[in-house]
Amino acid sequence: MRRKALDIKKRILEVLKKEKELSLRELETKVNTNNKTLKTQIEELEWFDKVKKIKHDKNNINGRPYTTIKLKK
């Protein structure tokens, strides 16, 4: 059964309350949704000033840039 956008947003906020800050990949796994859906929902939550997207220059493990998501207070 397909989940509604509101259910996905609620799950994102629940996970971020527990974990504080997660990469997009980690959040994708914990929320159990695909990357495109996650990015769309994150953009909406960012617009409503609920979360903050943080872009990092490089990962210590592989040297690639990555993005983390953090819950705003």
pLDDT digits (tens, 9 = 90+) for 16-63: 999 989 999 999 999 999 999 999 999 999 999 999 999 988 887 888
β pairing state of 51-56 and 66-71: antiparallel
| pLDDT value of position 62 | 83
Which residues lie below 8 Å from residue 26, measured CB to CB, with a gap of 6+? 19
User: For tokens 């259910």, what's the residue?
Assistant: 7
Q: For the domain made up of 5-71, give the CATH fold.
A: Arc Repressor Mutant, subunit A (1.10.10)
HSE at residue 25, side-chain half, CA atoms within 13 A, is 4
Could you state, in order of their start, the residue ranges of all structural domains in the chain? 5-71
- What local confidence, expressed as pLDDT, does residue 22 receive? 93
Q: Find the distance separating the first CA and the last CA of the chain, reported in whole Å.
A: 33
